[in-house]
Chain A
Amino acid sequence: MTNQSKLESYETMLLIRRFEEKLTELCKMERKIPGMMILCTGQEAVAAGVCGALEKDDVIISNHRSHGHLIAKGADTKELMAEIYGKRTGCNKGKSGTLHMAVPEVNALCTTTVVGGGIPIAVGTAFAQQYKKQDQITVCFFGNGTTDEGSFHEALNMAALWNLPVIFVCENNVYAGAQRTEHITKIKDIAVRAMAYDMPGEIVDGNDAVAVYEAINSARARCLLGEGPILLECKTYRWRGHGEADHQVYQPKDEIDAWMARCPIKKLQGELMQEGLLSEQDIVRIEARVAETVESAVDFAEKSPWPDLQEALEDVYV
């Protein structure tokens, strides 16, 4: 990973963090943002590490915890924020809200809230990349709970069978809803499930953006050689609950504290400073730039108009 890429990952993670901190704040303010709000706070290293190693034409398929993925893939934060507000200027004209944002401009082609729903679709996009003989791959993000869905197994089998250029990225954040993984899944490591489909299953520290980047980089190269898919399990933790209305009573305080002490942003920041790539002044400058981006996104969303009611009837069919 180049120094430049590391610095970019750092700024991307910071942007995701500040963007979502703003969302937490907005959710607490009455009537600011309607609906559910599921955040990836604490998991920024996966988003930044994965997307940092991808080319623009590579496809990502995301899930209900998508903000980090979309920002890291290069989606416009103004349009994301406006979509979260349900405004006409949102990336999907207010039709998807926070939960299903699709940003085709950056090849973020699908965000689904159906657990397991995105994995067969990733098989389809990877099939198209192989069919058209394009030097592109697909990355599919999902959580640990998803791997108990039948669609996960159907899709991995099909992808392995046809050597499709797809990386299945499991963000194992310890919980599925309010259930701890060990209460609902017999195996300790999701990565071992890859064995059943004769594909590599790797485990990486999901709080280490550099490690994630390197893992994706080599997996991508493998995909482009036609050697088929891999399953990458990123061990991480979600600081927030399943929605901002989640009281997180099931998450022990000391567990949250321990993971917060392993903050992925602080980790990379420390490494960059140690390597002399980042100074205190740089940090202040980057923080200011990120704050400005988030503020202007909120400003854009606030000032944007609601959609006309008739627009609800559009975009069902071509």
Chain B
Amino acid sequence: MQQITMGQAVQQALFEEMRRDPDVFIAGEGVGQSIHESPIMPTYGLLKEFGPSRVKDTPVSEAAIAGLAVGSSVMGLRPVVEIMFNPFITIASDQIVNHAAKLRYLSGGKSTFPMVVRVKTGAGFGAGCQHSHNLEAWVAHCPGLKVVMPGTPADAKGLLKSAIRDDNPVIFIEDMMLYFAPGQVPKEDYSIPIGVADIKKQGKDVTVVTWSKMLGVAFKAATELSKEGIEIEIVDLRTLAPLDKETILQSVRKTGRLVILHEATRTGGFGGEIAALVAEEAFGDLKAPIKRVAAPDIPVPFSPPLEQFYIPNEGQLIQAVKTLTSL
């Protein structure tokens, strides 16, 4: 094992997959020569080892970057392209929503699109709402895409390897605050299957379904709640599409209570999908109503205290859990 950050874990996956498969190439704005010349940034060092023919610094052209991935993947390459910030995916969304997601279906299964779009996301670094906006529900709503959102360095490395080896378009969403978060990561080659959730902490009282950066919030709440004798079970989805329904349902059947925790805004968020799933398939096992802890329905504010107000925290989760256990 090694203690590395998630930025380094992503970087290791990119290095290892590029060494393993010459069809893998990288493209995006500043993926080679970067303004963030730091060893913990995901694409640091790639240009030096693989050169400009495989590490393509692109023009500032999100639609063309995504189209590059669609067109090169149908030809058998395995592009890993980067969209610098999640809100910018709106500019690339024609290629992602209308083409990457649909062209296999439209071809009647004749064509495949083994491409990965790495998207950086997350509030917390003071850049305001045009740089910070979690839009995972948008892409998860499109059949044909797989959507991955890791919460730990080890998951990020193993899932990115699976994403690169997957023959479907994968939207791989990385929370930028997690780039600096360290964790234990295996040194050997390993992959983590897409579509399999992970129970990060066992508990008997309340199921907390979460993903990405909110995993840390769940752990902080768990520590506090344990002191009062409440044991939450933390289900880290890791993948939103395809969704690991069984793991969620099994956990809810065990605890009888569910809180969904995500950073994205509440209305139309992916939490609603999980709530609906459990209401449809495990209603009889519920001892209390389902609760969601999510950001308020506002764009991410700039002012530091307002931005912190936006991001869901352990206090809100603890309150939600206690409300359910008192019922």
Name the interface residues of A94-150: CB closer than 8 Å to any CB of B: 94-96, 100, 102, 104, 109-110, 112, 114, 116-117, 119-129, 131-132, 138, 150
Give per-residue flags for B83-124: 1 if the beta carbon is below 8 A from chain A beta carbons, else 0: 000000000001100110001111111111000000000000
Give the contacting residue for B75; candidates A95, A114, A129, A150; CB below 8 A.
A129
The interface residues of chain B lying within 8 Å CB-to-CB of A112 are: 98-99
**Interface contact A92-B107, CB-CB below 8 Å:** yes
Question: Interface-forming stretch among A153-161, A183-191, A238-246?
Answer: A153-161
| Contacting residues, chain B, for A318 (C-beta < 8 A) | 104, 112, 166-168
Residues of B within 8 Å of A93, CB to CB, are 108-109
Given A125-B75, A127-B71, also A316-B95 (CB < 8 A): no
Instruction: Say yes or no: B94 contacts A114, CB within 8 Å.
Output: yes
Q: Which residues of A contact B79 (CB under 8 A)?
A: 124
Asked if A154 contacts B63 (CB within 8 A), the reply is yes
| B2 is an interface residue with CB less than 8 A from chain A | no
* A120 pairs with B76, CB closer than 8 A: no
**In the complex, what distance in Å separates the CA atom of A127 from the CA atom of B64?**
12
Q: Which partner residue on chain B sits nearest A90 by CB separation?
A: B108
User: Is A125 a contact of B72 with CB atoms below 8 Å?
Assistant: yes
User: With A92-B108, A317-B144 known to touch, is A127 a contact of B72 (CB < 8 Å)?
Assistant: yes
Q: Is the CB of B104 within 8 A of A124?
A: no
Please indicate the chain B residues that have their CB under 8 angstroms from the CB of A102 in the complex.
Answer: 103, 106-108, 110-111
Which of A90, A119, A128, A316 makes the CB contact (< 8 A) with B76?
Answer: A128
Cβ of B73: which chain A residues have Cβ within 8 Å of it?
124
Interface residues on A, range: 35 or more
B67 surroundings in chain A (CB, below 8 A)? 117, 119-124, 151, 155
Indicate with 1 or 0, residue by residue over A206-235, a CB within 8 angstroms of chain B CB atoms: 000000000000000000000000000000
Check B61 for interface membership: any CB of A closer than 8 A: yes
Q: Are A110 and B103 in contact (CB under 8 A)?
A: yes
Taking CB as reference atom, which chain B residue is nearest A161? B59
Is residue A30 contacting chain B, with contact meaning CB distance below 8 A? no
Contact A104 B72 (CB under 8 A): no
Q: Mark B159-181, 1 if CB is under 8 A from A, else 0.
A: 00000001110000000000000
For the complex, is B282 an interface residue (Cβ under 8 Å from A)? no
Residues A131 and B25 in contact in the complex (CB < 8 Å), given A117-B98, A318-B104: yes
Query: Taking the nearest CB of chain B, how far is it from the CB of A147, in angstroms?
Result: 15
Interface pair A126/B144, CB less than 8 Å apart = no
A121 with B99: CB separation less than 8 A: yes
Q: Does B311 contact A (CB under 8 A)?
A: no
Query: Are B109 and A128 in contact, with the CB atoms below 8 A?
Result: no
Among B160-217, those with CB < 8 Å from A are 166-168
Distance (Å) between the CB of A171 and the closest chain B CB? Answer: 20
Shortest CB-to-CB span from B119 to chain A, Å, is 17
At the interface, is chain A mostly helix, strand, loop or mixed? mixed
A318 to B194, CA, bound (A): 13
Assess A151 versus B106: contact at CB under 8 Å? Given A117-B95, A117-B99, A317-B168.
Answer: no
| B326 within 8 Å of A (CB atoms) | no
Chain A neighbourhood of B167, CB < 8 A:
318
Residue of A nearest to B91 (CB): A150
Would A100 and B106 be within 8 Å (CB), given that A123-B71, A128-B71, A154-B61 are in contact? yes
> Is the CB of A315 closer than 8 A to any CB of chain B?
yes
Task: List residues of chain A with CB within 8 A of the CB of B75.
Answer: 59, 109, 124-125, 128-129, 132
* Interface membership of A91, Cβ < 8 A: yes
Say yes or no for A314: interface residue by CB 8 A criterion. yes
Tell which of A117, A121, A158, A315 touches B59, judged by Cβ atoms closer than 8 Å.
A158
A127, chain B: closest CB distance, angstroms:
5
Instruction: Kindly state whether residue B143 has any CB partner on chain A within 8 Å.
Output: yes
Which residue of A100, A124, A132, A150 contacts B68 across the interface (Cβ within 8 Å)? A124
Q: By CB atoms of chain A within 10 A, which of B63, B67, B104, B143 has the most?
A: B67
Q: Would you call B95 and A158 a contact (CB within 8 A)?
A: no
Shortest Cβ distance from A314 into B: residue: B109
In the complex, which residue of chain A has the Cβ closest to the Cβ of B76?
A128
Pairs across A and B, CB under 8 Å, 12 listed: A94-B108, A96-B106, A102-B111, A120-B64, A121-B67, A121-B74, A123-B67, A124-B68, A129-B75, A131-B53, A162-B56, A315-B104
Given contacts A104-B107, A124-B79, A158-B59, 17 further A-B contacts (CB under 8 A): A93-B108, A93-B109, A102-B103, A102-B111, A117-B98, A123-B64, A124-B72, A127-B72, A131-B25, A151-B63, A151-B94, A158-B61, A162-B56, A315-B104, A315-B107, A315-B109, A318-B112
Could you tell me which A residues sit within 8 Å of B by CB distance? Answer: 59, 61, 90-96, 100, 102, 104, 109-110, 112, 114, 116-117, 119-129, 131-132, 138, 150-151, 154-155, 157-158, 161-162, 314-318
Q: Which residues of B are interface residues toward A (Cβ below 8 A)?
A: 25, 53, 56, 58-59, 61, 63-64, 66-77, 79, 94-95, 98-99, 103-112, 143-144, 146, 166-168
